Amino acid sequence: MPTLTSKWRYLIMLLGVQLIVMALLSRETYQKRVTYFFRIFRKLDVLSGVSGSGTAHGSNHTGADVYANLSQLALLSRSEDMRYCPNTSPLLSGPIHVSFPSGLTLAQVERKNPLVVRGGRYRPPDCEARHRTAIIIPHRNREKHLKFLLYYLHPFLQRQQLSYGIYVIHQAGNYTFNRAKLMNIGFREAMREMDWDCLFFHDVDLIPEDDRNTYTCDKNPKHAAIAMDKFGYKLPYKAYFGGVSALSPLHYLKMNGFPNNYWGWGGEDDDIGIRVSLAGMSISRPSLRIGRYKMIKHKLDEGNEVNPKRFSLLAKTQQTWKSDGMHSVEYELLSREYLPLYTNITVNIGTERGLRPLTPKPKAKERAENRPGR
């Protein structure tokens, strides 16, 4: 009998050790499962239009809900003798949780931003903003990305207590895309409407991940998207100026805006970076910890093929920057719509061979035939 008891004891001990080893091995998978489980809840939260989930001072690595705390703003009202907002907004919370749930609609984004008015404009309800920032987004066929950007950008800017407006510059037609030219147009059309003191030139697929990355201008042109997930949260090269950058109207005028002659993907951001130094300025940047962005994954768009001329264009920036830029931008304004979440400016920018009508004008004979009464 005593031998049987010790055998049992031995077996139980062995089972115990096995259980401990299994628990240790499955810890990582278990954690992943728990995180996945919580993510499902976050997604539901986003879609059901509930605000205020997540911690206001989110120091956890996944970050806080970008809408946390903002619902209180809707209860405040403006008064005549309002003070300036504080230098640092009390609404900032640091890292923001960014995910891309399916099923999000623009109507839901609208509901979550009750203080945003026609044309995508906003002013803090309880204090006079210290800064007026216009966001310029070059766009074509990226409705899904735009929806996510608007979902995150509106509350992000409200947390910073800015007076702001969002402009989407939509290239009409199927000709090759020209990001820098659209940004020149955005500058002109936005400044025509209001005396903005800072302009953020913003790719549609980049979501800021930390609300301390303030959308205000510095003494020098600022490169804000310094740490993108696709580049391992560091600069791909020292002179990189792509993704999101910020210029005051004075910076912009000093460097004659952006080039108009980069058709297709690549090089135009490098050209803009070179212009900054040719105009006697330098590039300022937030810290790597704060200038973080998540990119919405996508394939290279049709009509935005890699530009084979970018190398030769870049080699000539020094000779061309004064003649090609904001002074020489040519376009046809097709429409200006004040939508609930942004101002949509649709333009015909022509092709590399110049400005040409999107739909060829009918010949004189056809025009005569189509006259009413015939």
> Which residues contact ligand BGN (rule: CB under 6 A)?
236, 242, 266-267, 269-270, 310-311, 314
Cβ closest to ligand BGN, residue 54 vs residue 243: 243
Helix axis angle, 179-193 to 268-278, nearest 10°: 60
Q: How far is the CB of 235 from ligand BGN (least distance, A)?
A: 10
User: Which C-beta is closer to ligand BGN: that of 114 or that of 236?
Assistant: 236
Q: Ramachandran region of residue 53, left (φ > 0), alpha (ψ -120 to 50) or beta?
A: beta
- Give 311 or 338: the residue with its C-beta nearer to ligand BGN: 311
Taking the least distance from each CB to ligand BGN, the nearer of 210 and 268 is: 268
- Minimum CB distance to ligand BGN, residue 32 (Å): 31
User: What does the buried/exposed string (b/e) look like for 339-362 if buried means 16 or more CB atoms within 10 Å of the residue's CB?
Assistant: eebbbbbbbbbbeeeeeeeeeeee
- 234 vs 232: CA distance, rounded Å: 6
Which secondary-structure segment (H or E) carries 227?
A: strand 227-228
CB nearer to ligand BGN: pick between 120 and 242: 242
Q: How far is the CB of 273 from ligand BGN (least distance, A)?
A: 10
- Give the nearest distance from C-beta 270 to ligand BGN in angstroms: 5
CB of residue 266 to ligand BGN, shortest distance in Å = 3
Q: Which residues pair with 70 in a beta bridge?
A: none
Cα–Cα distances in angstroms (integers) from residue 111 to residues 96, 308, 357, in the given order: 20, 44, 39
Q: Using an 8 Å Cβ cutoff, are 166 and 345 in contact? A: no
CB of 348 to ligand BGN, least distance (A): 24
**Contact in structure between 239 and 221 (CB atoms under 8 Å):** no
- What whole-number distance in Å separates Cα of residue 159 and Cα of residue 116? 13
Output the smallest distance, CB 242 to ligand BGN, in A: 4
Q: Tell me whether residue 169 or residue 206 sits nearer to ligand BGN (CB atom).
A: 206
Q: How far apart are CA 46 and CA 147, in angstroms?
A: 13
- Output the CA angle 348-353-354, nearest 5 degrees: 45
What token pair was written down for 281? 């300025």
Residue number, 90 or 236, with CB nearest to ligand BGN: 236
